[in-house]
Amino acid sequence: MKISAIRTTPVLAPLPTPLRTASGSIERFPMVLIELETDAGVTGRAYAQSYLPELLPALHQTVAGLGGMWMDQPLNPRDLHELLRRRCRLLGMKGLAGMALGALDMAAWDAWARSCGQPLARLLGAELRPLRAYHSVGLYDASSVVKVAEATAAAGYAGLKIKLGFPTLSEDLAAVRAARHALGDGIALMVDYNQSLSATEAMRRCRALDEEGLEWIEEPVLADDFEACARIAAAVHTPIQIGENFHGPAEMRAAIAVGAMDLVMPDVQFVHGVTGWMEAAALARAASLPMSSHIFVEASSQLLCATPTAHWLEVLDAAAGLRRSPLVIRDGHLHPSDAPGIGIEWDEEAVARHRA
């Protein structure tokens, strides 16, 4: 079975509400939808995404360009992954090239699993199982976060993650306490600073949050400042979570080496796809690190089933407005798709409406 075509479609995926962070707001998610076709009639589906619509044309061209290197190649996902790594050795696999590799790798594994008639998790040797899921939302102040927390509890999530990074610590604390009160007992609360603090300010705020009963504090400083992360992790009691900005498994290995985090959450696109995720999962197991996911909920739900130290599944369902089928969340858990592959089928009318 060989690759006969790779079709790419740039879209601006709709969101129910804008996603506000300490660094700006995302109105719609810029994505490149990928369809990897084979000469056996099997089509693999995945997507790449960037946060900035201004970068969507560049991401689109990068996915299409690197995908073209796979034409007429046998559908062997690990070999295809290594082919792109070799071809891009002089360029490196960070930034757009790494993002494209991750998305194309997902599409190749999706096609392979579909050709075997199995969900990806089973193809990786794991059974499908319910995954503890949390609702991931934006930056809300103490008054507006109450409604979000109540909706999270009503929807059956086991946890809620809110963004922080207000101008003052007192505003951060007020939002946390309002969310905690609205959630009630039994629902976890996480916070995410999205790299918005200096090392000194991060230390101050993380220490102040230590008494709030948080599940974790995420990315308090720049994602690649592993030394600062390690100092904060050593100084505070609340677990420090990083990983969504690891560009490949090698960066995760470097972060582990300096003790940069208590918990880890790779992004399946940035960590170089299914192939990179499985390498990351092996690193997490060796280091006894609980491993959660970052967006890409369709692929992540399959991969966490095959992750020995699986922790939480993040639900920020960026592609919901383009898929045919909704997620299934019940009793605090997401139930992964049992369809062959990753479980993505596009609503073609929705895709056409939101094409960029």
Q: Which residues are catalytic?
A: 163, 294
Q: In a 10 Å sphere around its CB, with 0-12 CB exposed, 13-18 middle and 19+ buried, how is residue 153 labelled?
A: middle
Question: Residues with Cβ < 8 Å from 43, sequence gap 6 or more?
Answer: 35, 36, 37, 111, 114
User: Could you give the residue ranges of the DSSP H alpha helices within the chain?
Assistant: 56-68, 77-87, 95-116, 120-123, 145-154, 169-183, 199-209, 226-235, 249-257, 273-286, 297-305, 348-353
The pairing of strands 131-139 and 333-334 is antiparallel
Q: Burial code of 44-65, b = ≥16 C-beta within 10 A, e = fewer?
A: bbbbbbbeeeeebeebbebbbe
Q: Is 83 exposed, middle or buried (0-12, 13-18, 19+ CB in 10 A)?
A: middle
Q: What token pair was written down for 35?
A: 């369809």
Please state, in angstroms and rounded to a whole number, the distance separating the CA atoms of residues 132 and 134: 7
